[in-house]
Structure 1
């Protein structure tokens, strides 16, 4: 769990003023009295601390995937391994580390079939979206 993913999408940059850095923690449970969860898009939700404003996680509404802000952990061995929506990255910053770079199109090819499949299954079974 020391591989940091960086998201350069516009929404993440608007959320925190720069790229969002996170650790993948699929299926993990995040809870707390000050946790505020909101639907940030048609398929995902984000959470932050209602007391201090720290960004906590991003996750799809239909699925076990979950990314938790890397800055919440005191781990010195973290390394940037993957940058997503790299084609949306503005020119005013860059990372010196070598990392896998994924474009918007490659992310769409990976996620659209997954999201559509989950929505169809939910619609066919009339099951509500999973709650974490």
Structure 2
């Protein structure tokens, strides 16, 4: 087994979150990508590095772009201690919103949507929403 680092842990946490968002347990996902459940657990825990061919299989079953796994990784991250997991997977709307937003390619549209959300949050904090 290759030595792993904080990036492997980060990727594993994101895979785990995606699996939970899709409401799959470890055994179900492992079977769908022809892995032993223990192997998938090792990937999700970051104790084992995920090979590229398995990332491809996981991306097809979980319906995500592989580049999504690397979003948010700090540029200085290497063998530092593991990062905190990504946003909590308990609310499937968070994952769906994030996934849908990433599909918007037009920078102006993305900026407008972010402005709208931030304006809403500002007014909500001020107690001006119903």
Larger Rg: 1 or 2?
2
Higher relative contact order (CA 8 A, sep 6+): 2
TM over 0.5: no
- Using the size of structure 2 for normalisation, the TM-score is 0.33
- Using the size of structure 1 for normalisation, the TM-score is 0.32
